[in-house]
Each structure stands twice: as C-alpha cells, then as structure tokens.
Amino acid sequence: AALPSLLACLAVLLLGRARPGDACSCSPIHPQQAFCNADVVIRAKAISAKEVDSGNDIYGNPIKRIQYEIKQIKMFKGPDKDIEFIYTAPSTAVCGRLLDTGGKKEYLIAGKSEGNGKMHITLCDLVSTWDSLSPTQKKSLNQRYQMGCECKISRCLSIPCFVSSSDECLWTDWAMEKTNVDGRQAKHYACIKRSDGSCAWYRGMAPPKQEFLDIEDP
C-alpha cells in the first residue's frame, strides 16, 4: 500500500511545483518496513539548508529542492561513503520533508541513495527524532530489522484479520489503537524470519535465538 502513495508523491515531485489541490499523502508503514525499503538509513544532524536548482521539469521550469548539509553520526544501512547532503522537495505539499537545522536535533533518517555522499527523502520516508525512538527500535537498527527484510508486514485495518502466508506478520497497531500507527508493535516488535522459513513477531533487547517459538520479552 505504501508503493502507490510513494509513486504519487514522485509524480508530483516531477512537476517541480505545487498547484491548487496538490497534496502529498502517505500510507502508514512499520519502521522495519521503512528500514528494509530504504537504500540508506542513518543517524544524523542537519547543519544547514539552502534551496538549489535540480534541472528542469517537462515544461522547462526549474525544479527546486532543499539541500541539507548534514553531520552523519552513524550509518545503519547504506554505502561505504558517509552521507554529506540530503535533498528533498521544497514543501510538504510536494512531499518535501523539513528538518530542523543548527545541529542540535538528531534524526533517524531513511531514504534513497543518489550516490556520491547524497540521498533523497520524501514525506513518506521514515524520519524521526532520535529521542522519540524506543530502546527496542534503536537496538533493532543494528541487526534485527535486517533479519526480517524477507518477511512481509501486513497492516490490519480492523479486527479480525488473518495472515495469508507463513512469511507474514500482522501489524495491528492501526486496528487496536485506532489512528495510532506508532503503537506497541511499531515501538517494541520486529518481524523475524525463523529457521523453518516462517516469520513471526519478536520482542526483546537481546539478539533473537536461531529458533524461537513466539514473542519473547526482555
């Protein structure tokens, strides 16, 4: 469900400017999905921002983007080269993601690589302040999320809902906590592939055992 929304965002981005009625909407996505979908996942601070030209649209009009100069603190996923610049559209109406500059606020940022120390983010990508993440989320960035990238996390909109295959984990935060998608499963669980090829939710601060039956607590 996230892919059509992302494609819609990109379609608006290609126009290079917002028109009356344009808007950017994103489907909820579990942070593990955002991690697995991203080319680059980093912890970083935004140092400065400026508007830059990025070619022309199909009508010959200049495309503007915001260029953030960043200080990378840690890379969880991505190329060998540190990320120096992050690009995004100039407003949220065209899927731009605004960051506080000045180097005081730390972010977890997931997005697409543009090569040569550059990446691109949209409003649909995972961008969270580091302090807002749970201890389990921070721990999962190092290995656990990657262990479940072959699994499928399906959003449950209303109870009851059921898995359709053994490699699927049901994400019920939306159904159980109504409009809160940053709920218990998002903050404390990861969907891990087990030794028999099936997938299941895992909770715990320690690395998962090679085989586990179900959810484990710290």
Domain ranges of the chain: 36-132, 134-217
Per-residue model confidence as pLDDT tens digits over 185-202: 999 999 999 999 999 999
Backbone angles phi, psi at 58, to 5 degrees: -65, -15
Domain 134-217 top-level CATH class: alpha beta
CA distance 218 to 134: 13
Contact status, residue 45 vs residue 121, Cβ threshold 8 Å: no
Fold adopted by 36-132: OB fold (Dihydrolipoamide Acetyltransferase, E2P) (2.40.50)
Q: Is 161 annotated as a binding residue?
A: no
Residues lower than pLDDT 70 in the chain: 1-23, 177-181, 204-218
Contact status, residue 85 vs residue 118, Cβ threshold 8 Å: yes
Distances (CA, A) of 147 to 9, 126, 132, 143: 29, 19, 23, 6
CA distance 136 to 126: 16
Specify the pLDDT at position 21.
Answer: 37
Per-residue model confidence as pLDDT tens digits over 101-118: 988 899 999 999 999 999
